[in-house]
Structure 1
Amino acid sequence: MTPDEARNRFAAARVARLATVSAEGVPHLVPVTFAARGDVVVFAVDHKPKTSVALRRLRNIESNPAVCFLADGYDEDWSRLWWVRADGIARVLPPGSEPVEWLVAKYEQYARRPPEHAVVVTDVHTWRGWTGS
Structure 2
Amino acid sequence: MNLNQARVARLATCGQDLQPHCVPVCFLASDRDIVIALDEKPKRVAPGQLRRVRNIRENPRVALLVDHYEEDWTRLSFAMIEGNARLDRLTQAETEGLRDKYPQYREMELSECLRIEPERIVRWPC
TM-score bucket of the superposed structures, by smaller chain: 0.7 to 0.9
2:116 aligns with: 122
Aligned length: 122
Q: Summarize deviations over 1:1-47 as a string: whole Å, max 9, x none.
A: xxxxxxx5223211000000011211100000000001300002211
Amino acid at match of 2:99: V
Give the fraction of aligned pairs with identical amino acids, expressed as a percent. Answer: 39
**Which stretch of structure 1 is more off in the superposition, 100-109 or 39-48?**
100-109
1:89 aligns with: 84
- C-alpha distance in 2 between matches for 1:114 and 1:127: 31
Give the gaps of 5 or more residues in structure 1. 1-7
| Shift in Å, 1:67 | 0.5
Q: Summarize deviations over 1:75-94 as a string: whole Å, max 9, x none.
A: 11111111110111101025
2:52 aligns with: 57
Q: How does 1:30-69 map to 2 (within 5 A)?
A: 30-53=23-46, 54-69=49-64
- C-alpha distance in 2 between matches for 1:20 and 1:129: 20
Cα-Cα RMSD: 1.7
Amino acid at match of 1:79: T
Amino acid at match of 2:76: L
3-state SS of the aligned residue for 1:51? coil
